Amino acid sequence: MKLKQLARPALVLIGCSLALSAWALGDKPLKVIVPAPAGGTTDIAARVVGQQISVDIGRPVIVENRPGASGSIGLHAMLQAAPDGDTILVGPNNLLVESPQVMKVPYDPLKDVVSIARVAKTSYALVTGASYPAKDFQGLLAQLKTRKGKSSFANYGNGTTSHYSGLIFSDQADLGMQNVGYPGSPPALQDVIGGQVDIMFDGMATSLPLIKGGKLRLYAVSGKSRSRYFPDVPTMTELGYPEIQFQGQIRFYGSSKLPPDVLAKLQAIIKKAADAPAVQQKLFDVGLEPDVSVDTPAMLAEDKSLFQRNAAIVKKFNIQLN
């Protein structure tokens, strides 16, 4: 399925069965809030999985885009809805462990929100423009050292993994790099491609087509393991930077007030949909590695650990609240 076929207006009805089943959560449409614009990675994931859910349960699934304020607008809207399972949210895990570090949000990300299911993960890519002279990581490092204090890194948002990775790399490699912030990946990547900024740690989903298209050069990934897309490319941990180990996740979220039986039913339908081979292929095609889990306690424990880690990074580098 082509990406342009997945993009829809901000409010979309996915799959409308003539005979809706009155499944355990009622017979109203299932609303899935996406705290990002239509056409982005999270939006595509929500529509791909949502479409399969609609087929599986015979119930319409509405995808509603509520972008803004680093995802907090959409997340707050989800929490304001009745905790009956009829309104949930799809978003990256940085909604809980990164954004609240640098901006005030009207909820407790670790108490008010529950992770229903994870459907995919993504690593982060260390990239430059294709015309950059360094051919491999060691060459890149040597090039940056010759320009100590004059080189720069782009990030797609203050207090994000992209920002953290650049700061840690510059600090540990003693590069004195300048941080250049952008309102998202696309404008940042354009300046990386154009050579206005030296490097960037970007999400694989947005860098993948540019790497494949020959516009970006990939040197390393920052996931826990090598990328399935580029198995020959080393991780930052392998290269001697174990603190630059970041991995994004796409999850379905709900209110922590969801009744246990409703949570369990949502987990069952999401897992079934996300496990479908066609769904997994579509996610993989847009730069997301399918990785389904409905272990809510494990995800919460992971989020608490990541929240503490990120808080330490924010404190060390004196990253200010937006």
Q: Which of 33-47, 88-102, 259-273 has the lowest mean pLDDT?
A: 33-47
Answer whether residue 305 shows pLDDT above 60: yes
Answer whether residue 25 shows pLDDT above 70: no
pLDDT of residue 40: 82
pLDDT of residue 13: 54
Residues in the chain: 322
Higher pLDDT, 2 or 161: 161
Burial class (CB in 10 A: 0-12, 13-18, 19+), 237: middle
Neighbour tally for 303: CB within 10 Å: 20
pLDDT of residue 184: 86
- For 290, phi and psi rounded to 5 degrees? -55, 135
Answer whether residue 3 shows pLDDT above 70: no
pLDDT of residue 232: 97
pLDDT of residue 320: 84
Q: Which of 2-16, 137-151, 303-317 has the lowest mean pLDDT?
A: 2-16
Tens of pLDDT, residue by residue over 170-218, are: 999 999 999 999 888 999 999 999 999 999 999 999 999 999 999 999 9
pTM: 0.87
pLDDT of residue 70: 86
The average pLDDT across 137-166 equals: 95
Proportion of the chain above pLDDT 90, given as a percent = 84
Answer whether residue 163 shows pLDDT above 60: yes
pLDDT of residue 222: 94
pLDDT of residue 5: 40
pLDDT of residue 14: 57
Higher pLDDT, 106 or 13: 106
What's the chain's average pLDDT? Answer: 91
The rounded distance, in Å, linking the Cα atoms of 242 and 55 is: 43
Answer whether residue 296 shows pLDDT above 90: yes
pLDDT band of residue 11 (cuts 50, 70, 90) is: low
The rounded distance, in Å, linking the Cα atoms of 66 and 319 is: 26
pLDDT of residue 90: 98
The rounded distance, in Å, linking the Cα atoms of 38 and 272 is: 24
Q: Which residues of 126-150 are buried (b: 16+ CB within 10 A; e: fewer)?
A: bbbbbebebeebeebbebbeeeeee
Q: Are 215 and 130 in contact (CB under 8 A)?
A: yes
pLDDT band of residue 33 (cuts 50, 70, 90) is: very high
Residue whose structure tokens are 């782009």: 154
The average pLDDT across 105-112 equals: 96
